[in-house]
Amino acid sequence: MKTKILLPFIIVSFLFIFFILYVGLNRSNIYIPETVTNEKIPTFKVKVFNSEKKLTSIEIFENDIYYLLNIWASWCIPCRDEHPYLMELKKNKKLEIVGLNYKDKVKNANNFLNELNNPYTLILSDTDGTIAIEWGAYGVPETFLIYNGKIIKKIIGPMNNNLFKEIESVVK
C-alpha cells in the first residue's frame, strides 16, 4: 500500500521539478524593458546644459507636438552611430528633439556637438544620472518618443534605419 502511493508521488514530484527547471532554464535572465509603453512622462526638475537655469518636465514638454528625448554622452560610442539619424529627424518640423546629456563633461559634450552638429532644440544636464533613472533608463543611448505627455515609444540602444523609419511614419 505504502509503495503504491510512494511511487506515483516520487514520479509526480520529479516531473514537477523537471517542469519548473525546464521553464526556468528557457526564461531569459537578461532585463528586457518594454519598448511600447503608454506611461506618463516623469515629473522632475532639471538643469539646462551649459546654464544655471532649471526647468520642470511640464515646462519642457508643454507643446502639442511630438518630442524625442535622447539620452546621450560624448563618451558613448553608439551615440556617434545614431547621430546622423537624429540630424535627419531634426528636419521634421512636427518633432522637437530634446537631449539629456548623461554624466558628461561640458567641454567634451560641446566638442562632440561641434564635431557632429547639434540636433537638439534643448539640452538638459544629468550630471549624476538620477534624471535618467526617473525615465527608467539604464544606459546610453536611450530615446523616448513623447506625445501629449505620454511616452509612446522607447528605444533602447542606438537608433537604426528601421527605428528611424518607424519614428518618421509616426510623426508625419
Partner 1 sequence: MKILNFLVIIIFLFNLNVSNANDRNLNSKITKNLRCLICQGQSIHDSDTEFANSLKLVVEKKITEGMSENEIYEFLKTKYGEWILYDPALNQKTYILWLLPLLLFLIGGAIIFKNLKIKKN
Q: Which residues bind partner 1 (CB under 8 A)?
A: 20, 29-31, 33-34, 39, 103, 128-130, 132-136, 138-139
Instruction: Supply 131's cell numbers.
Output: 534624471
Question: Closer to partner 1 at the Cβ: 89 or 131?
Answer: 131
Question: Closer to partner 1 at the Cβ: 75 or 164?
Answer: 75
Please give the distance of CA 5 from its chain centroid, rounded to a whole number.
55
Question: Closer to partner 1 at the Cβ: 39 or 81?
Answer: 39
Surface-to-core class of residue 104, CB atoms within 10 Å of its CB (0-12 exposed, 13-18 middle, 19+ buried): buried
DSSP state of 41: P
Cα–Cα distance measured from residue 67 to residue 13, given in angstroms and rounded to the nearest whole number: 54
Question: Closer to partner 1 at the Cβ: 16 or 165?
Answer: 16
Give the shortest CB-30-to-partner 1 separation in angstroms: 7
Cα–Cα distance measured from residue 167 to residue 81, given in angstroms and rounded to the nearest whole number: 17
Give the shortest CB-84-to-partner 1 separation in angstroms: 25
Give the shortest CB-57-to-partner 1 separation in angstroms: 14
Which residue has cell 548623461?
102
Provide the β-strand partners of residue 45: 56
